[in-house]
């Protein structure tokens, strides 16, 4: 019987390995940028065309390679980073497996130009599908230049799985930002389709973050700094008021390597507990330095996951450090038992001498002599007259007790002791207010506003049918559902989903007919976004103008809006655009109709009435009428039911149980 196990050819093995290492153009960008960093470059330039599908070029001024290394670097498991297995636990470089260049060369056309600083000439190598087409001596500048063309040209199935250029370029930007943020001492340049998008000079961490994400980022950052025996933490977190609905600006770097860690992310989120709005996520840029022998980075092909020796200690330290920074810079409230701000001396009186107060006492003061005294709403002059004289003289003013008679008729002279000028006895004062009702009771009685009446008024079944007008009115339940009667029973409408359907069809019609009106703003609105988000807005500008947006300025730093659709308020503009950008970053369709559909869905989701919003009778009626005027009233734009129907027969069955 013949053998059935055989060795795979090298080019097939390389293509299989490429499936793990090279998933999309961004994977190639990551590997080439990290190689340039390992080469000791101080300037790295990335050139992209068609989101990397057509061209990816990385140029650096590093130490370069000689003729032998230039050819050997494309072999599988050829590396200069490790020689024995123990080297894996003391790595200080990015790449170390020697798989990246071999995998890239197996699925693309690759050109390599490299030269060492002390050499007169360099080397030019051309490879297609793991086969070396040519290798010759050439005149090239110091450093290395990798050119990768026609990615996945020999694996069309893999190429068909790539997303649109916008989405793929978003992934390229992500990898570029991760490497650039980790190495602030290197200048990075990104050129996309012939135009320069980024030019990041060497700077400190804070300036690098600001250069990547825009000038307005500087005011959002809160410094984080801590050094312990097992870890050193530095970096920044964003203030809670700048939290975003997406998780885009969240970066962990361990020994200058970008990683993803849900465990550490939870530690940062826990530090923000009670400071974030529901549905928002904090932004952070944290650089962790640990001993290389305490981590294992060889657990994932892309090396974005790391195993820590003591995760619990790292969690506690990171959470405490972030929380301390938020309190130190007065971002979150701090409880200090040693200081009371109300007792602080004002600055104007800080150096003045305190003055002791003086007390003057009138030893001959008698409050019952020649003093105006108030009793209820009546004033009388205290003299030699008795209380009996006072009340008898005031009886004509209409001061009544709880019964129909006057207070003077209910109280005789014997009820009050006679007080004269020389009388010191206070006996009998308790009976002075007998028979007088509290003022609050009179007020509530006059207004007819008692607790029992409130309960009765809130009970629907106490009202007449004519008052309820049940046949012509809808009712809101729990600020979430609208109940409306129909001939066969009633319908229960989800107010948010129904409004989403209404807005979706309106916006879709506006995009199709291009007839949406716009309202001019008295003061133009200025918004700031990251560089890639500005590029995305430029690609959406035509569609947004059709909806009623008017752009006064749209450049790489800011957008100035002078007009907005009449259905959107000025306070909602930033929310609508942010949600739209987040939605399209993950998937940007090439087809125009599909793009319009996604825009309409995003706007309807952002602007629809929220669950928990009180609606007036008129608003409820408007939603009900508008919903059933739609083409597809049964489902929301996201294929969720908008209403359910309950027949009278179904209700009757409930009472027959």
Residue-wise pLDDT tens digits, 522-573? 888 888 888 888 888 888 888 888 888 888 888 777 889 998 888 788 888 8
Beta strand 109-115 with 122-128 is antiparallel
The residues, ordered by sequence, that sit 6+ positions from 117 with a Cβ below 8 Å of its Cβ are 63, 64, 142
- CATH tag for 508-594 (out of 3.30.1370.100, 2.60.40.60, 3.30.465.10, 3.40.50.2000): 3.30.1370.100
pLDDT reported for residue 215? 77
Beta strand 55-60 with 143-149 is antiparallel
pLDDT reported for residue 437? 53
Listed in order, the ranges of the chain carrying CATH 3.30.1370.100 are 508-594
pLDDT reported for residue 294? 82
pLDDT reported for residue 157? 81
The residues, ordered by sequence, that sit 6+ positions from 147 with a Cβ below 8 Å of its Cβ are 55, 56, 57, 110, 111, 112, 113
Q: In Å, how far are 390, 425, 427, 509 from 383, measured between CA atoms?
A: 10, 16, 19, 87
According to DSSP, residue 641 is labeled B
- CATH tag for 213-328 (out of 3.40.50.620, 3.40.190.10, 3.40.980.10, 3.30.230.10): 3.30.230.10
Residue 417 near residue 357, CB atoms below 8 Å:
no
pLDDT reported for residue 340? 57
Q: In Å, how far are 26, 74, 131, 299, 490 from 103, measured between CA atoms?
A: 14, 8, 12, 19, 64
Listed in order, the ranges of the chain carrying CATH 3.30.230.10 are 213-328
| Residue 102: exposure state from Cβ atoms within 10 A (0-12, 13-18, ≥19) | buried
Listed in order, the ranges of the chain carrying CATH 3.30.565.10 are 10-200
Question: For the chain, which residues score pLDDT lower than 50?
Answer: 371-425, 439-441, 443-471
pLDDT reported for residue 391? 45
Return d(Cα 143, Cα 158) in angstroms, integer.
32
Full-model pTM: 0.69
Own/partner contacts of 294-297, CB < 8 Å, gap of 24 or more, are 294/230, 295/254, 295/255, 296/88, 296/89, 297/91, 297/257
- 10-200 belongs to CATH 3.30.300.10: no
pLDDT reported for residue 249? 86
Residue 494 near residue 643, CB atoms below 8 Å:
yes
Buried b (16+ CB within 10 A) or exposed e, 465-495: eeeeeeeeebebeeeebbebeeeeebbebbb
SS3 603: helix
The residues, ordered by sequence, that sit 6+ positions from 105 with a Cβ below 8 Å of its Cβ are 14, 74, 127, 129, 130
pLDDT, tens digit, for every residue of 19-56? 667 888 999 999 899 889 988 899 999 999 999 999 99
Q: Count CA atoms closer than 13 A to 318's CA, side-chain side.
A: 28
pLDDT reported for residue 519? 86
């Amino acid at each position: 019987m013949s053998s059935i196990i055989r060795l795979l050819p090298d080019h097939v093995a390389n293509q299989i390995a490429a499936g793990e290492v090279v998933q999309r153009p961004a994977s190639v960008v990551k590997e080439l940028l990290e190689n340039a960093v390992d080469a000791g470059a101080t300037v790295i330039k990335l050139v992209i065309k068609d989101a990397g599908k057509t061209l990816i070029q990385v140029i650096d001024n590093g130490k370069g390679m000689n003729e032998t290394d230039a050819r050997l670097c494309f072999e599988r498991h050829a590396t200069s980073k490790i020689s024995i297995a123990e080297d894996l636990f003391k790595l200080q470089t990015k790449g170390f497996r020697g798989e990246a260049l071999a995998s890239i060369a197996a699925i693309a056309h690759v050109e390599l130009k490299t030269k060492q600083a002390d050499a007169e000439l360099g080397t030019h190598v051309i490879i297609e599908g793991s086969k070396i087409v040519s290798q010759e001596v050439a005149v090239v500048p110091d450093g290395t230049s990798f050119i990768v063309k026609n990615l996945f040209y020999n694996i069309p199935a893999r190429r068909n799985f790539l997303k649109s250029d916008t989405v793929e370029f978003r992934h390229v930007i992500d990898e570029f930002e991760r490497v650039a943020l980790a190495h602030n001492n290197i200048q990075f340049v990104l050129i996309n389709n012939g135009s320069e998008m980024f030019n990041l000079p060497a700077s400190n961490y804070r300036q690098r973050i600001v250069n990547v994400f825009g000038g307005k980022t500087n005011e959002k950052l809160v410094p984080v700094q801590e050094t312990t025996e097992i870890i050193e933490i530095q970096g920044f977190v964003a203030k809670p008021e700048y939290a975003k609905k997406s998780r885009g600006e969240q970066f962990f770097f361990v020994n200058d390597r970008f990683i993803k860690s849900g465990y550490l992310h939870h530690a940062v989120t826990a530090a923000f507990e009670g400071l974030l709005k529901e549905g928002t996520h904090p932004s952070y840029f944290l650089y962790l330095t640990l001993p290389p022998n305490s981590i294992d980075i060889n657990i994932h092909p892309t090396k974005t996951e790391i195993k820590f020796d003591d995760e619990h200690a790292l969690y506690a330290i990171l959470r405490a450090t972030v929380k301390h920074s938020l309190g130190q810079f007065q971002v979150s409230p701090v409880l200090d038992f040693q200081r009371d701000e109300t007792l602080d001396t004002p600055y104007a009186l800080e150096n003045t001498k305190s003055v002791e107060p003086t007390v003057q006492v009138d030893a001959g003061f008698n409050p019952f002599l020649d003093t105006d005294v108030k009793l209820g709403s009546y004033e009388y002059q205290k003299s030699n007259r008795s209380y009996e004289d006072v009340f008898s003289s005031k009886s004509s003013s209409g001061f009544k007790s709880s019964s129909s008679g006057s207070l003077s008729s209910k109280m005789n002279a014997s009820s009050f002791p006679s007080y004269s000028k020389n009388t010191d006895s206070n006996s009998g004062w308790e009976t002075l207010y007998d028979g007088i009702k509290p003022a609050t009771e009179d007020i509530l009685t006059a207004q007819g506003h008692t607790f029992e009446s409130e309960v009765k008024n809130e009970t629907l079944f106490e009202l007449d049918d004519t008052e309820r007008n049940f046949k012509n009115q809808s009712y809101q339940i729990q600020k979430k559902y609208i109940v409306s009667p129909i001939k066969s029973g009633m319908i229960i409408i989800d107010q948010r989903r129904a409004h989403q359907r209404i807005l979706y069809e309106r916006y879709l019609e506006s995009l199709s007919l291009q007839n949406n009106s716009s309202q001019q703003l008295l003061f133009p609105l200025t918004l700031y976004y990251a560089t890639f988000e500005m590029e995305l807005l430029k690609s959406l500008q035509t569609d947004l103008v059709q909806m009623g947006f008017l752009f006064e300025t749209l450049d790489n730093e800011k957008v100035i809006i002078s007009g907005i659709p009449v259905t959107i308020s000025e306070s909602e503009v930033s929310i609508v655009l942010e949600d739209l950008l987040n939605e399209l970053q993950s998937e940007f369709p090439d087809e125009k109709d599909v793009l319009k559909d996604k825009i309409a869905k995003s706007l309807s989701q952002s602007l629809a009435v929220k669950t928990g919003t009180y609606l007036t009778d008129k608003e409820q009626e408007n939603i009900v009428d508008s919903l059933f005027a739609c083409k597809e009233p049964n489902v929301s734009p996201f294929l969720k039911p908008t209403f359910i129907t309950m027949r009278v027969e179904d209700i009757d069955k409930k009472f027959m149980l």
